[in-house]
Amino acid sequence: MIRFSSSLFNRPALFICAGIGITLATTAVTVASLYEMRLDAMAQARVAAQNLVISLQNEIERNLDMYQLAMRDVATSVGTTSIVGLPPEVRQLVAFGSATNAKELGSLFATDATGKLVLDSRSVMPRKLDVSGRDYFQIHWRQKNAGLYISAPYLPYTAASGLPQPRIALSRRLEDKNGDFAGIVGGTLRLSYFRQLFEHSILGRHDTITLLRTDGTVLMRQPFHETDIGKSLAGGHSFEPLVQADHGTYTDIAVLDHIERLYTFRRVGSYPLVVVVGVATDDIFAGWRKRAIAIGIVSVILDVLLILLSLMFSRQLRKRLNMERRLQRLAWFDPLTGLPNRTQLQREALLMLTNGKRNGSTLAVLFIDLDRFKRVNDTQGHAIGDEVLSEISRRLKNQIHTGDVIGRLGGDEFFAVLQECDVLKAKNVAERILRAVCQPILINTKQDTRITISASIGIALSPHDGDEPGILLRNADLAMYRAKSSGRNQLRFYAPEYEREAKEQLELEIALQRALRGDALHVVYQPKVDATGVLRGVEALVRWDNDGQGSIAPDRFIAIAEESGLIAEMDAWVMGEACRQLAEWRAEGLEIPNMSVNVCAADFKHPDYPGFVTDTLKSHGLLATDLTLEMTERVLFDESVDDIRKTLDAIQALGIALSIDDFGTGYSSLSYLHRFAVKELKIDKSFVQGIGRDQMAESLAQTLIHIGEILKLTVTAEGVETQAQRDFLGTYGCHLYQGFLFSRPLAPSDFACWMRQQSCPSPGDADAKRPEVAL
Ligand code: C2E
Ligand code: CA
Ligand code: CA
């Protein structure tokens, strides 16, 4: 699994932002380049229009200049004195000759002061025409300084052939030698000349070329519409600069067709004419628009792809991060309860300890262990066990403050670290936890099922009990262990002697293990006699001579054996030894009716305990009836009670007798006596020894005998030390007696001597040689 260590990779949103950022940037660049391209298109169009307008202007100017020259020639010919005297026909001929140069454009003519044609380039003889009504004649007639006048378009009086062609006239005033009006010299120009000129120059469908008089009168416009000719454009808002400047460019919406164009204009030399080329902005931008659309589409596709990619990438990343987080959770948190696990707890505890050290504050760690949780699992199943654990962890979480931490170490063990916590506060929190855990737990999956459980809590304080998480955890564990062994559902603070004791315990455990493998264990035997003093059975009791420490009380080392799991092995050895001894004694001729062996819950958890017992009996030639198993009531309240019950049933089926040891000190639930066909009740020595001293003990002993009587069980009193005790018990019908009054537990040879009391005058006392701590 790849781990993304970079913080960048921890933020999937960054990739979306980056995607959007890049998209915006590329969009901005695209828009800017499109804008640039648009400006370029406009600049190119402007240059093209300017070039066109220049060439048109040059062409028109050149032709008009030529025309003017021809007109001047005509004027000169008209005014030449040498010619004046000539008859009109001759003069006409001269003029005709002068005008041929300009014939392609139109015709040249001259009038007298009344407007009658005196010269006409179109015919050898001037036509009989009067132009005094024309605007160009009127202007010159009225104004002395009209200069070169360009007329408004008009139709000729006569058409040479077909339809009359509109035309304009260029005219100048003629004066006699006195400076008085003598007529005009003029030239007509067919507008079709401009039309052809413009037609050849036109660029696009919506482009225009217009020839204007400076007063705004349209002389020609391409595309050609007859109605446009003669219209006035004066008054439009672009008109003023158009006629005032020599040349220029502007954008405007046409008055004539309402199309927006880029207009480039130029004055035709010194003539009162302006050529205007208009290029439709739509056309200018047509190519650009196509490209812009293509680029736009591509850029949108790319942007969408980019955003999709960044979304996909960030989604992938998010998935991966979630997975990583889940893995981290698994690594640091307990999946069942969601609480921090051991690793996480240690990290947090270390952090809190470091902070505590810095601030000089105390810190408490609580080791919380549920009591008999295994029983819940065994009797209710693991699913309900899990429900219980989840509910308990919820309750635990509710009992601690923010800033404190609680986690699960595993199984039914929890661990809390409380910061800035003194003895009192730790005690309060622990008591609260004990109360919270004790509340019945309603199981959701099984209606009406309520489970009640308790906890044992060990507390260690830092820095007093340690300043490292590991040490505090161990010390709290030791204290918890003490709380458990003191009866559960309570709290204990760590004390240094716990550690010493734990160490000793461990040393004893190791020594016991060694003893079990070696030959440091042996068995002693205590007789059980009836009211007449006849031997009815023997109890086998284990002894351990520890090299270094002398004899160790069975109560102590048996507890150690139970806790360390050595007990089953030890009991098996005792069972073998006791059976062997019984067989040996019988072989020696001693009549010993029955052997009692002490057993505990751990023995019954052996996979095939009944098989083992059968094999042991068989290997020594004994019968099931030769053996009695003594067990305390505790066995029936063990966590694995179901397995134990099965084993007990099997043992009972074999015909081996069961005896309830220390009867009256435990749970004393009478139903099991019947359920397991118990044969014997052993009244605990504490009651026996209270006889004569303690009323309560006496009446209890009495009651226990009574119970045995009712249930038809053999009642054996143990720990009978005095005759008074013996007599008291005898009065109430006790069946068997065991105790120092009859014999201490004896080594095998001593026991044999005890049997042959008469022949063996002073029997050795095994426990007397090895003083018993418990006695
Ligand atoms: P228990 O089964 O109740 O055994 C009787 C205990 O009372 C023995 O203690 C015995 O020495 C003691 N005793 C007998 N008569 C008298 C008396 O007159 N006065 C007094 N004060 N004590 C008397 P012991 O041998 O120390 O054993 C203690 C317990 O250890 C036994 O109690 C039994 O529960 C357990 N135990 C002993 N041997 C074995 C064994 O092989 N396996 C297991 N699982 N437990 C054993
Ligand atoms: Ca016993
Ligand atoms: Ca006992």
pLDDT digits (tens, 9 = 90+) for 475-499: 999 999 999 988 899 999 999 999 8
Residue with the two structure tokens 């068997």 = 736
Confidence band of 444 (pLDDT split at 50, 70, 90): confident
**DSSP labels, 7-45:** GGGG-HHHHHHHHHHHHHHHHHHHHHHHHHHHHHHHHHH
Mean pLDDT of the chain: 86
Pick the residue whose CA is nearest to atom 11 on ligand 1: 745
Beta strand pairing call for 167-175 and 450-451? unpaired
Spatial distance between the Cα atoms of 593 and 657, rounded to a whole number of angstroms:
13
Q: 599, 629 in Cβ contact below 8 A?
A: yes
Query: Which of 539, 543, 598, 684 to mutate to test ligand 1, by most ligand atoms within 8 A of the CB atom?
Result: 598
Q: Which of 554, 370, 520 is nearest to 451 (CA)?
A: 370
Query: Which of 718, 736, 772 to mutate to test ligand 1, by most ligand atoms within 8 A of the CB atom?
Result: 718
Percent of the chain exceeding pLDDT 70 equals 90
Contact partners, residue 334, CB within 8 Å, separation at least 6 = 340, 341, 407, 408
Confidence band of 120 (pLDDT split at 50, 70, 90): confident
Longest alpha-carbon distance in the chain: 205
What distance in angstroms lies between residue 521's CA and the mean position of ligand 3's atoms? 20
For residue 530, the cross-strand partners are: 736
Query: Which ligand has the nearest atom to the CA of 659?
Result: 2
What distance in angstroms lies between residue 584's CA and the mean position of ligand 2's atoms? 22
Q: Check pLDDT > 60 for residue 407.
A: yes
For 261, the enclosing helix (H) or strand (E) is strand 260-267
Confidence band of 238 (pLDDT split at 50, 70, 90): confident
Q: At what angle do helices 748-755 and 567-587 cross, to 10 degrees?
A: 40
Q: Which option is the CATH number for 525-543+564-759: 3.40.50.2000, 3.40.50.410, 3.90.1170.50, 3.20.20.450?
A: 3.20.20.450
What distance in angstroms lies between residue 682's CA and the mean position of ligand 3's atoms? 7
Q: Which of 431, 459, 457 is nearest to 365 (CA)?
A: 459
Binding pocket residue ranges, ligand 1, CB within 6 Å: 526, 541-542, 553-555, 558, 571, 574, 598-600, 630, 661-662, 685, 718-721, 739-740, 745, 772, 774-775
Q: 676, 683 in Cβ contact below 8 A?
A: no
Spatial distance between the Cα atoms of 714 and 711, rounded to a whole number of angstroms:
9
Q: Check pLDDT > 90 for residue 376.
A: no
At residue 758, the pLDDT reads 35
Q: Give the other-Cβ count within 10 Å of 617's Cβ.
A: 22
Q: What is the pLDDT of residues 670-716, one digit of tens each?
A: 777 877 879 999 999 999 999 999 999 999 999 999 999 998 999 99
Strands (E), 128-207: 149-150, 167-175, 181-190
Which residues fall inside 5 Å of ion ligand 2, going by CB?
Answer: 598, 630, 661
Q: At what angle do helices 496-517 and 469-485 cross, to 10 degrees?
A: 70
Residue with the two structure tokens 């005759």 = 723
For residue 408, the cross-strand partners are: 414
Mean local confidence (pLDDT), 276-302 = 89
Domains 333-494 and 525-543+564-759 share a fold: no
| Distance between start and end Cα atoms, the chain | 66
What distance in angstroms lies between residue 596's CA and the mean position of ligand 2's atoms? 8
- In the numeric block, which tokens belong to residue 87? 């008859």
Tell me which CATH homologous superfamily contains domain 333-494: Reverse transcriptase/Diguanylate cyclase domain (3.30.70.270)
Mean local confidence (pLDDT), 601-620 = 93
At residue 706, the pLDDT reads 94
Pick the residue whose CA is nearest to atom 22 on ligand 1: 719
Q: 30, 291 in Cβ contact below 8 A?
A: no
Number of helical H runs and strand E runs in the chain: 24, 26
Q: 480, 368 in Cβ contact below 8 A?
A: yes
For residue 224, the cross-strand partners are: none
Q: What values do phi and psi take at 444, rounded to 5? A: -65, -40
Pick the residue whose CA is nearest to atom 8 on ligand 1: 541
Q: Which of 453, 461, 458 is nearest to 435 (CA)?
A: 453
Q: Check pLDDT > 70 for residue 98.
A: no
At residue 579, the pLDDT reads 98
Q: What is the pLDDT of residues 242-252, one digit of tens each?
A: 888 899 999 88
At residue 3, the pLDDT reads 46
Confidence band of 763 (pLDDT split at 50, 70, 90): very low
The DSSP secondary-structure symbol of 635 reads G
Residue with the two structure tokens 């622990």 = 430
For residue 253, the cross-strand partners are: 260
What distance in angstroms lies between residue 718's CA and the mean position of ligand 3's atoms? 6
- In the numeric block, which tokens belong to residue 607? 């996979």
Q: 434, 457 in Cβ contact below 8 A?
A: yes
The DSSP secondary-structure symbol of 540 reads E
Q: 171, 149 in Cβ contact below 8 A?
A: yes
Q: Which of 599, 642, 630, 622 is nearest to 380 (CA)?
A: 642
At residue 730, the pLDDT reads 96
For 222, the enclosing helix (H) or strand (E) is strand 218-222
Query: Which ligand has the nearest atom to the CA of 738?
Result: 1
At residue 161, the pLDDT reads 59
Query: Which of 525, 539, 541 to mutate to test ligand 1, by most ligand atoms within 8 A of the CB atom?
Result: 541
Q: 372, 385 in Cβ contact below 8 A?
A: no
Q: What values do phi and psi take at 2, rounded to 5? A: -80, 135
Residue 608 burial by CB count (10 A; 0-12/13-18/19+): exposed, middle or buried?
Answer: exposed
Question: Where are the alpha helices (H) located in 462-553, listed in sequence order?
Answer: 469-485, 496-517
At residue 415, the pLDDT reads 93
Cα-based angle 680, 685, 689 (whole degrees, multiple of 5): 135
Spatial distance between the Cα atoms of 247 and 254, rounded to a whole number of angstroms:
18
Q: What is the pLDDT of residues 527-580, one digit of tens each?
A: 999 999 999 999 999 999 877 667 788 998 998 899 889 999 999 999 999 999
Spatial distance between the Cα atoms of 579 and 572, rounded to a whole number of angstroms:
11
Residue with the two structure tokens 């003594």 = 630
The Cα-based distances of 429 to 401, 462, 645 in angstroms read 9, 16, 39
94 vs 602, higher pLDDT: 602
Query: Which ligand has the nearest atom to the CA of 537?
Result: 2
Q: Give the other-Cβ count within 10 Å of 327's Cβ.
A: 12
Q: What is the pLDDT of residues 620-642, one digit of tens each?
A: 999 999 999 999 988 877 767 77
Q: In the chain, where are the structural domains located?
A: 53-284, 333-494, 525-543+564-759
For residue 63, the cross-strand partners are: none
What distance in angstroms lies between residue 633's CA and the mean position of ligand 2's atoms? 12
Q: Check pLDDT > 60 for residue 83.
A: no
Strands (E), 296-453: 363-370, 405-410, 413-419, 441-442, 450-451
Mean local confidence (pLDDT), 103-111 = 75
Spatial distance between the Cα atoms of 81 and 721, rounded to a whole number of angstroms:
187
For 264, the enclosing helix (H) or strand (E) is strand 260-267
CATH number of 53-284: 3.30.450.20
Spatial distance between the Cα atoms of 715 and 680, rounded to a whole number of angstroms:
6
Q: Which of 688, 636, 638 is nearest to 658 (CA)?
A: 636
Q: Which of 383, 384, 393 is nearest to 442 (CA)?
A: 384
Confidence band of 2 (pLDDT split at 50, 70, 90): very low
Q: Is 468 helix (H, G, I), strand (E, B) or coil?
A: coil
Query: Which ligand has the nearest atom to the CA of 526?
Result: 1
What distance in angstroms lies between residue 629's CA and the mean position of ligand 2's atoms? 9
Q: Is 613 helix (H, G, I), strand (E, B) or coil?
A: helix
What distance in angstroms lies between residue 742's CA and the mean position of ligand 1's atoms? 15
What distance in angstroms lies between residue 652's CA and the mean position of ligand 2's atoms? 18
